[in-house]
Amino acid sequence: MKALSYILLFCFAFSKVAIAQYCTSNDRFTELDFFQANEISSLQNVTFATDVTDGLGNTQDLDMDIYFPSAASENLTERPFILLLHGGGFQSGNKSLMTNYCTQLAQKGFVAATMDYRKGWNTSIPTDQVKAGYRVQQDANAALRFIVENANVVDIDTSWIFIGGQSAGAIASFFTSYTDQQEWELEFPGIEAELGSLNTSGNNITHSFSLKGIFNNWGMALSTSIDTPDLLPTISFHGGQDSTVPIDSSMVNSIEFIGSGIVHNVLETNAVCSEITIDSLGGHGIYTNSAGLQFRIERASCFFKSIFCDNCATTLMTQEFSANCSMDSLTSHIEATQNSIELFPNPTQNEFTVTGDLQNYQIEILNASGTLLQTVNSTNTSHTIDISELPQGLFFIKLSNLTNNNLVLQQIIKMN
């Protein structure tokens, strides 16, 4: 695992480089709530799969709960969707464990759903736990087919579907994203004949779906299914001391799985954006209290917005670093010539230089919370600014054109 490194994912939505309608210049899909709690509606216990058999031989129907901004408070005709799967080792838990995730993401502007899936496996049979994961992928596939079929009910944009979960739910999210029928057959010959197809279980809906990104909370993936052409942007949270789902690699019934750390490295190597926060002393489940959940949701929302805006980047952090991708308090205009102003070196230790057309600019240094720390008025094309007294961390450099009120926002990492 790499040493501490801050490669900032700056997910500010630049209005002139948007590639999707969701790259907005307002607070939608940022760390801030775009909707109040009373503006969120839900559909409860929506059945998406019927007469499926779990690992203990019980037949059941499966339901999901869907959360979305109410029609009266919304002005988009379609919205991106995220499906969330709970943890519990494929043995326990239910969809209510992800309700808070869904409501918070809905307040950011997403449609979010939490689903039940088949649980239970025979602990005396070594391969049964992995087969339980296959069943959950069947159920997730059924849920996503159902969502595509009924997208107009809550105005879902089926071209922007994400998936995520925690623990077993995160593992199932990786399965759903990467592991196809052929790859399952290579690991478990005859599994389709025994348990049925991945794409026909639970309902007779035949729609396909395409995933755009993964919200991974202490999960792992089947190593043989991480294929370069299929890699997806991923935001991850994992404890460095997790012995239940290791952050690096592990063998489960002679099958190799790779944890969040290795997944991150694979994505980075292949130039696919990946953000990971690692608690080096954390075990299985990190940032799990209400504040920690809020932290993870805010970072995930900003990460997904950076995908909308095509400025998704790779980030590795070993401490909690609050999301700040709205910057609404700082900007009313964004200068299209962002790259015409250069800042170097970055990261830096004691000073940095700003170069470019800086005539009649005000240069301000702000911390990650937006607090103003230092101001310089520029009439030159180059300025070297001393930041030796600042602590280690992330800072925003706000460059204001005093003539036309345009702004340029840059970021810099201060290292010790």
Q: In sequence order, which residues have a C-beta less than 8 Å from that of residue 270 and are 6 or more positions away?
A: 228, 231
Contact (CB, 8 A) for 143 and 114: no
Lowest model confidence (mean pLDDT) among 35-44, 246-255, 260-269, 389-398: 389-398
Tell me the whole-structure pTM to 2 decimals.
Answer: 0.76
Query: Could you tell me the pLDDT band of residue 416, with boundaries at 50, 70 and 90?
Result: confident
Contact (CB, 8 A) for 366 and 373: yes
Half-sphere CA count of 187, side-chain side, radius 13 A: 22
98-156 per-position pLDDT tens digit: 999 999 999 999 999 999 999 988 888 877 888 999 999 999 999 999 999 999 999 99
Class of domain 338-414: mainly beta
pLDDT at 381: 79
Same fold, 15-317 and 338-414: no
Q: In sequence order, which residues have a C-beta less than 8 Å from that of residue 18 and are 6 or more positions away?
A: 24, 308, 309, 310
Residue 287, pLDDT > 80, answer: yes
Q: Who has greater pLDDT, 86 or 389?
A: 86
pLDDT at 291: 96
Query: Could you tell me the pLDDT band of residue 69, with boundaries at 50, 70 and 90?
Result: very high
Query: Could you tell me the pLDDT band of residue 400, with boundaries at 50, 70 and 90?
Result: confident
**Angle, alpha carbons 64-68-73 (nearest 5°):** 160
44-61 per-position pLDDT tens digit: 999 999 999 998 889 999
Query: Could you tell me the pLDDT band of residue 1, with boundaries at 50, 70 and 90?
Result: very low
* Three-state DSSP state, 15: helix
pLDDT at 346: 83
Residue 407, pLDDT > 70, answer: no
Q: Who has greater pLDDT, 43 or 387?
A: 43
pLDDT at 340: 66
pLDDT at 4: 34
pLDDT exceeding 90 applies to what percent of the chain? 57
CATH homologous superfamily, domain 15-317? Alpha/Beta hydrolase fold, catalytic domain (3.40.50.1820)
The backbone torsions φ and ψ at residue 22, rounded to the nearest 5 degrees and listed phi first, read -90, -5
Q: Where are the domains of the chain?
A: 15-317, 338-414
pLDDT at 216: 98
* Three-state DSSP state, 87: coil
Query: Could you tell me the pLDDT band of residue 409, with boundaries at 50, 70 and 90?
Result: low
pLDDT at 338: 45
Query: Could you tell me the pLDDT band of residue 304, with boundaries at 50, 70 and 90?
Result: very high
